Chain A
Amino acid sequence: MKKLMKGNEALGEGAIQAGCGAYFGYPITPQNELTEYMSRRMLEEKRVFIQSESELAAINMVFGASVAGARAMTSSSSPGVSLKQEGLSYMAGCELPGLVVNVQRGGPGLGNISGSQADYFQAVKGGGHGDYHLIVLTPGSVQEMYEMPALAFTLSEKYRTPAMILTDGILAQMQEPMEQVKIDSSRAGDRDWILDGCKGREPRKIRSLLMEEGALEAHNLHLQAKYDMIRKQEQRYQLINEQAEIMLVAYGISARVCYTAMQEANKKGSQIGLLRPLTVWPFPEKILQELAPKIKAFLVIELNAGQMIEDVKLAVNGKTPVHFYGRSGGGCVTPGEILREIEKI
């Protein structure tokens, strides 16, 4: 049975169904409904909820809960996610799973509260200090907002690295019919690193400080090997109209607008397709490499001044022209604008 739900709330319920054991958050628009939803539902489910004193505290509470073996998460919007970067770097270094949701809004600085995709670089290139990556998932509908937390927790545990759901203020505020499908909440990965008291075993230590000669380089090589494995195994995307001449590339809310533009163009006889990354790290470069020789041009659409286009260009590697259209500062692209850009190609 379909039910009308807001993106923020669907994400919260999805996380709860996925077995989220601890949620920590600090208010910020446009993700407040998520923290509010969790403040009620987590207590109903007898799980941990804390409204933290800051996003710094929230991510470090996630760190602690994850150390103790919880499926732990926090959510925020752009300015708050900047504050979480320290914790994310430590979690990556300590190889701790955990989920951070970024309901992106316009920046830089306090910016505004409109939906945006301006934190793409921060999300996929590292964000905090050190050589690391987050696994970054991008829902494109309220239904996916509900289903993606489970995938995020699973991948995060399987690879012992923090995951992010990168969404935006428009999707998060949007109400849409969705189905509360059954969610698999089984935990992935082994648990032989969790700190729960050393009863019947050797004490365990969780640390990212590695001062012994060569130890940190060895650790980094280990992390990079893990990231390579993720790149090989976890690229996810949706491809519509493989035979297209022009392939739109967009994720999240931009992909929704692209879909409308694509349908209108194709009604008039054009051959437009849509490649929608579901993971932006690992970036779906394999499919882009496959498509490149068959396609006349790519058109990347983003709610920023051009960030994901860099990854598209890296994957396509000059084989096919890559065009860009975007709006930043909280502006949203329209189907009409995209059609105009298509005509220019």
Chain B
Amino acid sequence: MKKLFFKPESLTDTDHKYCSGCGHGIVHRLVAEVIDELGIREKTIGIAPVGCAVFAYDYWNFDVTEASHGRPPAVATGIKRFLPDRVVFTYQGDGDLAAIGMAETIHAANRGENITVIFINNAIYGMTTGQMAPTSLLGMKTTTSPFGRDAKLAGYPIRVGELLATLEGTTYLARCAVDSAKHVLEAKKAIKKAFEVQLAEKGYSLVEILSQCPPNWKMSVPESLEYVRKEMMTQFPLGVIKDKTKV
């Protein structure tokens, strides 16, 4: 019998601790599939963030290190500069990447570090149970914006991809989602492209993935998918934001 659903070699047997409907598990699998398909498992070093994906090192079947909150780009820089022929990627949430780690993010991008960043934008601090993130939408109710995010108090949701696109050091920037089979396939394509950019030594690549967090959004899974489509995609339009490999 032909096996239709098999586990990528780059994933371990460890069961995920993610909530049902969470986008993290899907993206872990996409990263693992891409690494398998590119045949780079044995030369890849991943960096797990502080956030719900902190246990990513248990789920991926290749070398993975932790990093303190927000510092994965600096850690990735240290690894990649010393071992330039290895594949180095960070996996980060919006709090990690765009709040506490924004300086490290911008400067790694600006130096054109030849690394790949997988950026999970769920517009919330998942792990600490639902506080406002730099990407939380205006009006979004979180545990630290109980009346809804107010631009006067808390500024505006940051469009990370567009922000980084202004830097000459960035090569490939895309935004995807994992709300539907079609979008999951597109996300996989973008992730693959991002790793290929690194393999071709073309510089910094980042794939932002709009990801649902049903429990902290206080929604059912179907409602959270609708929220991604209706609200998130309006603020954060999908597509390739920058591709210097084409010019």
Chain A contacts to B: CB under 8 angstroms:
21-22, 24, 48, 50, 52-54, 56-58, 60-70, 72, 86-87, 90, 94, 195-200, 203-209
What's the Cα separation between A132 and B196 when bound, in Å? Answer: 41
Chain A residues in 8 Å Cβ range of B45 = 67-68, 195-197
Is A57 touching B104 in the complex (CB atoms < 8 A)?
yes
Chain B residues in 8 Å Cβ range of A50 = 77, 81, 111
- The 10 A-B pairs with the shortest beta carbon distances in the complex, nearest first, are A64-B78, A60-B74, A64-B75, A65-B78, A197-B43, A199-B42, A61-B78, A53-B107, A206-B65, A60-B71
Q: Does B28 contact A (CB under 8 A)?
A: no
Least CB separation from A94: chain B residue:
B66
Is A67 touching B75 in the complex (CB atoms < 8 A)?
yes
Q: Size of chain B's interface in residues, with CB distance under 8 A? A: 35
Is A203 touching B61 in the complex (CB atoms < 8 A)?
yes
Interface residues of B in 59-100 (CB under 8 A from A): 60-68, 71, 74-83, 86
Chain A residues in 8 Å Cβ range of B63 = 195-198, 203-205
What's the Cα separation between A325 and B107 when bound, in Å? Answer: 45
- Chosen A-B contacts, 12 in total, with CB atoms closer than 8 Å, are A22-B81, A52-B107, A60-B68, A60-B78, A64-B80, A64-B82, A65-B79, A90-B68, A203-B64, A206-B64, A209-B54, A209-B66
- Knowing A197-B45, A203-B63, the reply to whether A54 touches B103 (Cβ < 8 A) is yes
Least CB separation from A200: chain B residue:
B42
Q: Does B44 contact A (CB under 8 A)?
A: yes
Chain B contacts to A: CB under 8 angstroms:
41-45, 47, 54, 57-58, 60-68, 71, 74-83, 86, 103-104, 106-107, 111
What's the Cα separation between A200 and B61 when bound, in Å? Answer: 13
Chain B residues in 8 Å Cβ range of A197 = 42-45, 62-63, 83, 86
Is B65 touching A207 in the complex (CB atoms < 8 A)?
yes
- Knowing A53-B104, A195-B63, A199-B42, the reply to whether A64 touches B54 (Cβ < 8 A) is no
Which secondary structure dominates chain A's binding surface?
mixed
Least CB separation from B65: chain A residue:
A206
The residue from B43, B47, B75, B78 contacting A199, defined by CB atoms under 8 A apart = B43
Is B82 touching A48 in the complex (CB atoms < 8 A)?
yes
Chain A residues in 8 Å Cβ range of B78 = 22, 24, 60-68, 70, 72
Least CB separation from A70: chain B residue:
B82
What's the Cα separation between A72 and B83 when bound, in Å? Answer: 13
The distance from the CB of A203 to the nearest CB of chain B, in whole angstroms, is 5
What's the Cα separation between A64 and B81 when bound, in Å? Answer: 9
Chain B residues in 8 Å Cβ range of A66 = 78
Is B79 touching A57 in the complex (CB atoms < 8 A)?
no
The distance from the CB of A179 to the nearest CB of chain B, in whole angstroms, is 31
What's the Cα separation between A128 and B42 when bound, in Å? Answer: 34
Is B74 touching A56 in the complex (CB atoms < 8 A)?
yes
